[in-house]
């Protein structure tokens, strides 16, 4: 965003958040509905949209995530870039240069103001819209896209509040358009292998998972005028909870068949003191700088515990403001064994040495490599340039799979109910922390459909 519009945006967010905090914990508790609201349209479970021979794409937000998405989509067969939207002129310029370098026709351009995206989604030559903008813009943009007849693909997290989660669900059901949160970690090589192992019963009956986002992002504080840090750091002034849960939680949810045989039922959450960010900005910014004078309310380490309807448990953690190696934990425990990530290690009763971790996964990949990973790796190898570089290849696999589903008229691997459930953990963790760890009911965004929805299969 330009500096002036960013300041206005942050001021409005601050005012709205302050008003919400002033209402107290009673309002927070009321945010969680006793039961799901009445469906306004048809269920979107297993939604099959008409197959698209040609996937005509528009992009909103062309920065840290949007530009790589654009570049990889242009590598995929059956895709055309028809429109680009960003109110940051340098980002828009870089995107146009990428399209030209790829030898593609020049797309329509929308960059005049914060609501230029509304003009873009109204076009009749678009099928899908990729939304790679700051978190608080995801829902209004996705809703506008779906109401204009487009499928919406949103960066993570899909939504910030419970109300926004329901807006996505209601709109997808009313319009019968896909709404997918692009959780790329579900498409990592290791995560796909584990999904197959869980489906084939290697770990026995699944009991417990652990999912984290532990990533030192303190350097983002130096992105003051533009870049991810220019808006993401501000979230630490507004919210105390797990503000970014889905990278670890998405894969674990798929292992446990969340929304497809089980669902999140309740949550409790606690946050540690928030000391890392104030300490970092004090050492790296001069006295009087806005980074120094801001009041940061988000605890450094948030730990949330989810219980599912079937009684399984999931620990979810978040810490981005302390020095530490990157980790998503990625643990799944069953009655016959377990896997734990970062570092990757496995123990399966009867197949591993007694009470000893295995750290060499070669034999497990040899037996349980996911067919989707093998197929897309072969496709990527034939491309004019390597499209599998993003996050170890998971980005390309995800984008390839999205286009495969759209062109084949297939249900998506992640649907709007996953986007809502996985994202809802943020708001629910905030509510629980504000109430000293009081349990919070997790809405059933599927309105009961989870009980008879088939698990995600091992796609080839």
Of 181, 202, 228, the residue that ends a domain is: 181
262-276 pLDDT, tens per residue?
A: 999 999 999 999 999
Question: What is the span of the domain harbouring residue 58?
Answer: 50-181
What residues contact residue 67 under an 8 Å CB cut-off, 6+ apart? 91, 94, 95, 98
Confidence of residue 379 (pLDDT cuts 50, 70, 90): confident
Residue 33: per-residue pLDDT: 45
- Per the model's pLDDT, the better-predicted residue between 381 and 204 turns out to be 204
12 in any annotated domain: no
Residue 16: per-residue pLDDT: 43
388-404 pLDDT, tens per residue?
A: 457 889 999 999 999 99
Catalogue the E-assigned strands of 279-405. 302-308, 313-319, 331-334, 337-340, 345-348
Residue 441: strand, helix, or coil:
strand
Between CA 159 and CA 180 the distance in angstroms is 11
Mean pLDDT of all residues belonging to the chain: 92
Task: For residues 93 and 223, state if they share a domain.
Answer: no
Task: For residues 176 and 237, state if they share a domain.
Answer: no
Task: For residues 176 and 194, state if they share a domain.
Answer: no
Task: For residues 308 and 427, state if they share a domain.
Answer: yes
Confidence of residue 385 (pLDDT cuts 50, 70, 90): low
What residues contact residue 266 under an 8 Å CB cut-off, 6+ apart? 306, 307, 439, 440, 441, 442
Is the pLDDT assigned to residue 377 strictly greater than 90?
A: no
The CATH number given to whatever domain includes residue 126 is 3.40.50.720
8 in any annotated domain: no
422 in any annotated domain: yes
**Ordered alpha helix ranges (H), 23-65:** 25-31
Q: In what order do the strands lie in the sheet with 108-110?
A: 108-110, 79-85, 55-60, 128-131, 151-154, 179-181
Between CA 32 and CA 22 the distance in angstroms is 18
Mean per-residue pLDDT for 160-177?
Answer: 98
Residue 115: per-residue pLDDT: 96
Between CA 72 and CA 400 the distance in angstroms is 9
Is the pLDDT assigned to residue 2 strictly greater than 50?
A: no
Task: For residues 58 and 197, state if they share a domain.
Answer: no
Nearest 5°: phi and psi at 77? -65, 140
CA atoms within 13 A on the CB side of 239: 24
**Ordered alpha helix ranges (H), 187-245:** 189-199, 229-232, 235-238
Residue 276: strand, helix, or coil:
helix
Task: For residues 141 and 263, state if they share a domain.
Answer: no
Task: For residues 165 and 204, state if they share a domain.
Answer: no
297-325 pLDDT, tens per residue?
A: 999 999 999 999 999 999 999 999 999 99
Residue with tokens 């290690």: 345
Of 181, 210, 238, the residue that ends a domain is: 181
Q: How far apart are the first and last CA of the chain?
A: 40
Write the burial class of residue 359 (CB in 10 Å: 0-12 exposed, 13-18 middle, 19+ buried). Answer: exposed
Residue 457: per-residue pLDDT: 95
The CATH number given to whatever domain includes residue 433 is 3.30.360.10
19 in any annotated domain: no
Write the burial class of residue 39 (CB in 10 Å: 0-12 exposed, 13-18 middle, 19+ buried). Answer: middle
397 in any annotated domain: no
Is the pLDDT assigned to residue 367 strictly greater than 90?
A: yes
- How many structural domains does the chain have? 2
Of 148, 181, 214, the residue that ends a domain is: 181
Mean per-residue pLDDT for 233-240?
Answer: 98
Task: For residues 266 and 326, state if they share a domain.
Answer: yes
Is the pLDDT assigned to residue 172 strictly greater than 50?
A: yes
- Measured from the Cβ of residue 309, the count of other Cβ atoms closer than 10 Å reads 16
Q: Per the structure block, which two tokens stand in for 63?
A: 């920065």
Task: For residues 113 and 208, state if they share a domain.
Answer: no
């Amino acid at each position: 965003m330009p500096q002036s519009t960013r300041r206005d945006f942050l001021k409005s967010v601050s005012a709205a958040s302050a008003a919400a905090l002033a209402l107290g914990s009673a309002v927070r508790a009321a945010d969680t509905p006793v039961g799901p609201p009445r469906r306004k349209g048809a269920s979107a479970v297993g939604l099959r949209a008409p197959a698209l021979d040609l996937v005509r794409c528009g992009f909103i937000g062309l920065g840290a995530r949007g530009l790589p998405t654009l570049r990889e989509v242009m590598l995929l067969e059956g895709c055309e870039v028809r429109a680009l939207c960003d109110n940051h002129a340098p980002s828009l310029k870089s995107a146009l240069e990428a399209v030209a370098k790829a030898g593609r026709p020049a797309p329509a351009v929308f960059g005049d103001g914060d609501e230029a995206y509304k003009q873009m989604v109204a076009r009749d030559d678009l099928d899908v819209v990729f939304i790679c903008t700051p978190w608080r813009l995801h829902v209004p943009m996705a809703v506008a896209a779906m109401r204009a007849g487009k499928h919406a693909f949103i960066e993570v997290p899909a939504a910030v509040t419970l109300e926004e989660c329901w807006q996505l669900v209601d709109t997808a059901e009313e319009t019968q358009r896909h709404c997918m949160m692009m959780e790329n970690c579900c498409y990592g090589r290791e995560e796909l292998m584990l999904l197959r192992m869980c489906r084939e019963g290697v770990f026995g009956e699944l009991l417990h998972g652990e999912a984290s986002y532990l990533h030192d992002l303190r350097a983002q504080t130096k992105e003051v005028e533009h870049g991810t840090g220019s808006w993401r750091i501000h979230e630490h002034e507004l919210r105390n909870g797990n503000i970014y849960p889905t990278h670890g939680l998405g894969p674990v949810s798929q292992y446990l068949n969340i929304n497809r045989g089980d669902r999140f039922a309740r949550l409790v959450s606690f946050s540690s003191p928030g000391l890392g960010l104030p300490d970092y900005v004090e050492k790296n910014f001069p006295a009087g700088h806005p980074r120094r004078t801001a009041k940061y309310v988000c605890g450094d380490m948030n730990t949330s515990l989810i219980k599912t309807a079937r009684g399984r448990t999931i620990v979810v953690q978040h810490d981005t403001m302390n020095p530490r190696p990157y980790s998503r934990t990625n643990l799944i425990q069953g009655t016959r064994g377990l896997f734990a990530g970062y570092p990757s290690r496995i123990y399966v009763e009867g197949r591993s040495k007694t009470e000893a971790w295995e750290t060499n996964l070669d034999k497990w990949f040899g037996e349980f490599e996911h067919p989707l990973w093998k197929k897309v790796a072969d496709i990527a190898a034939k491309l004019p340039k390597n499209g599998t570089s993003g996050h170890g290849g998971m980005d390309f696999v995800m984008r390839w799979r999205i286009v495969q589903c759209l062109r084949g008229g297939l249900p998506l691997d992640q649907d709007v109910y996953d986007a809502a459930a996985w994202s809802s953990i943020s708001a629910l963790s905030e509510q629980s922390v504000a109430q000293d760890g009081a349990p919070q009911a997790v809405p059933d965004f599927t309105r009961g459909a989870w009980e008879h929805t088939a698990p995600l299969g091992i796609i080839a």
